Chains A and B, each alone.
Chain A
Amino acid sequence: MSSKKQKKLTPVQQEYQEFAKAREPKRPVLKNCIRAFLVGGIICTIGQGLMWIFMNYFGFDEKTAGSPTVAVLVFLSVLLTSLGVYDHIAQWAGAGTAVPVTGFANTIASAAIEHRTEGFVLGVGGNMFKIAGPVIVYGVFSAFVVSIVKVVIKMLGGV
């Protein structure tokens, strides 16, 4: 809790905050990081294997093999999410399953499945990007700003 918010609290509330903080379970940071490293690494290695297959058997080159690889990973992730397996792995791996593109697909698929009882247009269609939306919004906007800056610098004849 920020110190600004802290000042508005009554002494009793402050005391409670201290009390709650002391009893909050400590996060096993090192253990989480090792798990994230292992699972994240394995997912990226699978991706590398898929890239190798696309490069050697489907005539893609090093630059173009990325897109079909991502598509296959997304498909696998959606499949595992649908079967209820991905969330079990995610609970163990933390950021290891959230950071790769498979985590992005997992948030979309799980939101879509979860909200189907609310109807296919407002439920599935409306909630699909509930969790993945911020990534797209901030990704696109920051990419837009970065690109505009780059284009303008190029136009002015710099760098």
Chain B
Amino acid sequence: MEKFIWAFIIGGLICVIGQLLMDVLKLTPAHAMVTLVVTGAILGGLGWYDPIVKFAGAGASVPISSFGNQLVKGAMQEAERNGLIGVLTGIFEITSAGISAAIIFGFLASLLFRPKG
């Protein structure tokens, strides 16, 4: 139960950071998302992102910053097995679910629905 509360708080805080990037630094949403992803990748590289995930669960793994972390994690997993080339072969290893699901469901939606409004 405690996990749910932390997921709410940490997830909410990461979204507030995104909102501040857009409102205070006047970034476009795309720039704000890119900033969060790159930050996630760097934190992942330093090994600081996984402790947050362990602590806050979905609160850290659902925001887009975890995408950067998981890219690094996948690359490092393969790199441990196959050396430098593993960075290339493993980079999408963990994020496959999110990207594939988005492409597949997105395409299906375009077959089934028409633009609204």
In the bound assembly, the distance between CA atoms of A71 and B103 in angstroms comes to 11
Contact with B along A91-104 (1 / 0, CB 8 A): 00011101111111
- Give Cα A27 to B84, complex, Å: 47
- Contact digits for B11-45, partner A, Cβ 8 Å, 1 yes 0 no: 11111111111111000011011101110111011
Name the distance in Å between A40's Cβ and chain B's nearest Cβ.
3
Q: Mark B75-106, 1 if CB is under 8 A from A, else 0.
A: 11001000110011001101011111111011
Interface of B is mostly: helix
The residue of chain A having its C-beta at the shortest distance from the C-beta of B110 within the complex is: A112
Contact-residue size bin, chain B (C-beta under 8 Å from the other chain): 35 or more
Contact yes or no, B98 A143, CB < 8 A: no
Question: Which bracket fits the contact residues of A?
Answer: 35 or more
Chain A at the B interface: SS class: helix
Whether B101 contacts A147 by the Cβ 8 Å rule is no
Could you tell me the distance between the alpha carbons of A47 and B12 in the complex, rounded to whole angstroms? 12
Binding site for A on B (CB under 8 A): 3-4, 7-24, 29-30, 32-34, 36-38, 40-42, 44-45, 53-54, 56-59, 61-68, 70-72, 75-76, 79, 83-84, 87-88, 91-92, 94, 96-103, 105-110, 112-117
Q: Which residues of A contact B (CB under 8 A)?
A: 27, 29, 32-33, 36-52, 62, 66-71, 73-75, 78-79, 81-84, 94-96, 98-105, 108-109, 111-117, 120, 124, 128, 131-132, 134-136, 138-140, 142-144, 146-151
